Structure 1
C-alpha cells in the first residue's frame, strides 16, 4: 500500500491514535513511521529522468481543423482551405520561451489523418494545400532557434486512411513508415505522444 492508496479506515485509526497520544501526554511516534514504505517502485530510466527535468512545455494543437473551427473531423475536410499565410512559428516559440517553457509538443497528425508534414504515405497533408510548406519543419526550426526541445504528438487513429478499418497489418506498416519519416527528418525528438489508441 502506498500513500495514495490509504484506506479511510487505516487513516482514521492512525489519526485517532495520534489524537489520543497528543491529549494523553504520551510520547507520540513519528507520523512518517506509520506510513507503509514502498520499496519495490521502479526507478525512472535515464531517458525518463531527462524528460522529467523539462517540466514545463507548450502543446500546440494546430491543423486543418483550425480552418474549419472544429476540434475533430472525419478525415474528409478539403485541404484547399488550409492556407496559414500568416503562420508565425517563431511567435509560438518566442512566447513559450518567454513564459519559461523548455519544450514544445507539435501535433503532427490528429485523428482526422491530416499531416502537417508532406508525408510520402498519404496525399492528405500540407503538400495538397495552397500553403504547401512543411509546418513541422518551420516549427522545429523555430523551437531550436529559441532553445526549446521538440516533441511530436501522433494519433494512432486515422479517420482518413482506409486501411485503419480494413487491414490491421497494412495500417501498422503505414504508421511505421510515417513514424520513420517523423523520427528521421527533424533531428532530436525528445517525446512521442501517442493518442487515439482507444479507437
Structure 2
C-alpha cells in the first residue's frame, strides 16, 4: 500500500512540474485539400461549428496524472530515481483493475458542452497507453475488462456518442496510432526507450504487420459499431511512413528510428469512408490527403491561415483530470476562441472527467459562463470566415459567409474596465451602415476617419460583460 501511494505521488510530481512541449503537436508544414466531394461538404459543415470539446478520459484519471506520458521513458519525463521504470509501468498498466467510473454520466457532459455553446465532440477512445474505452475484440485491455465491465454502460463509447448526438453535436473519435500496451508495438523482448516502437520493423516485418492489422481492426470497430461518425482524429504523429519524417518531426526531440512506422493509411481511410461516407480524417502533423484539417496544439498561429485548422487547447493545465488543476478564466477562453476564429480556425477545448465519470462542478460552472457569452454573441462566431485584416490591437474581426456582414469583437483582460469608446483600424463600415452591439441589438454612434473607426458605447453601459468581450456588427 505504501509503495502504491509513493508511485502515485511520483505521478503527481510529473504533472506539477509541467508538461514538456516535446509531446505537443504543432501544425503540419503543408496542407493538401481533400478531393472527395462528400469530404469537402463535411469539411465546410465542420468549419461552421467553430467550437468543440475534446474529452481525455482513461486510466490516468484514477490517480489524476498526465495522460499516458508518464510510462514513456524519455528524458523530459521526471520520475523518482528510487522507483524502477518497469515497476512504474507495471503499476500504471495495473490501473485497469481500479478503473470503475460508477457515476459515469455522458448526458451531463453533453448538456454542459451544449450549455457552453460547443457544437462538436472529439472523444478519446484510446490514448497512447492502449487502454480502450469501447468493447474492442482485439485486446482485453479495455473498459469491458475493468471492474466497470459488468455495468450496463460498460461500452462507454456508445453512450458518449449517443449523448452528444442527442444534443445535436457532430461527433468524432480520437484514436492513438501508437499503442504502448500492445506487444506488437512495444515488444517485451526489448526495453522501451522512447515513444517509438521498440524493434526494427524491417528485421521483424511479421510483428509490424500484426500491429498494422491490429490498428486496422480497431479502427474498423469504431467505424462500424457506433452509428454515424463525423471525425476520425488520429494522434501520435511519429507513427508515419519514414519518407514523411521531416525537420519538423525531428524538432520534437524524440529519436527517429531507421525503419518506417507506416500503418497503411490509404487502406484505413478507404475502409473508414466506405462505412462512414464523407468522414473527416485528421492524421495529425503528417499532412497529405489524410489530414483534412491541421491541429496546432496548445497554441494559435501568428497569422490567419487560408485552409481549415483547429487549435486544441486545454480548459485547465492538463488534458485529463488532475485534482489540483486550475482552469482558465472565462475571459481567457473567450479571447482564445475569438482569436482562433478570427484567424480562420476552430477551438477544440480540452476537458477531463473525474475517475468516477463526471465533470466537476468547477468545470460545469466554467462551461456555463462561456455559454452565457456565446448565447448573446455567437452570431459573430458561428458560420463565419476570416478577413484579410483579422486583428487591430485588441479587436478581432470575422465576417459572414456571404461577405456582407462584418463583426468586430473587442477583447479585454480579466481586470480591464469599461472604456467609453472602442477604436480599430481597417475593416471600415460601408457608408451609411448601422453599427449594432450584438448582445442587445442597440444601435451605436460611430465615426470613421480614414481607416480608423471609433465606436461610442451606450451611456447606460456601466461595465464589461461576463467574458470581457464586446461584439459589434455592421455592413462592409
- Identify the residue that residue 100 of structure 1 maps to in structure 2: 117
Structure with greater proportional helix content = 1
Q: 2:46 is paired with a residue of what secondary structure?
A: helix
In the alignment, which residue of structure 2 is the partner of 1:198? 238
Q: What's the offset of the Cα at 1:80? A: 1.3
Q: Secondary structure at the match of 2:228?
A: coil
Aligned mates of 2:137, 2:211 — CA distance in 1: 15
Query: 2:354 aligns to what?
Result: none
In 1, distance between residues paired with 2:116 and 2:235?
Answer: 26
CA contact (8 A) 1:51 1:190 kept: no
Normalised TM-score (structure 1): 0.74
Offset of residue 188 of structure 1: 1.2
Find the partner of 1:46 among 38, 41, 49.
41
Equivalence for 1:160? 181
Q: Does the alignment pair 1:130 with 2:147?
A: yes
Output the aligned Cα RMSD. 1.9
Residue of structure 1 equivalent to 2:441: none
In the superposition, the TM-score normalised over structure 2's length comes to: 0.32
State the match for 2:166 in structure 1: 145
State the shift of 1:57 in Å: 0.8
Within a 5 Å distance, the mapping from 1:175-186 to structure 2 comes to 175-186=215-226
Q: What whole-Å deviation, never above 9, does each CA across 1:6-56 have from its counterpart, x for those lacking one? A: xxxxxxxxxxxxxxxxxxxxxxxxxxxxxxxxxxx9688223212212221
**Structure 1, residues 88-128: CA drift from partner, whole Å, max 9, x if none?**
11111001111111111100000000000010000100111
Q: For 2:155 and 2:219, how far apart are their aligned partners in 1? A: 16
Partner of 1:68, secondary structure, is coil
Matching of residue 85 in structure 1 with residue 85 in structure 2: no
The structural deviation recorded for 1:149 is: 1.7
SS at match of 2:129: coil
Is 1:62 matched with 2:57? Answer: yes
**May I ask how many residue pairs the two structures share in their alignment?**
159
- 1:169 alignment counterpart: 209
Structure 1: give runs of 5+ residues left out of the alignment. 1-40
Tell me by how many angstroms 1:174 deviates: 0.3
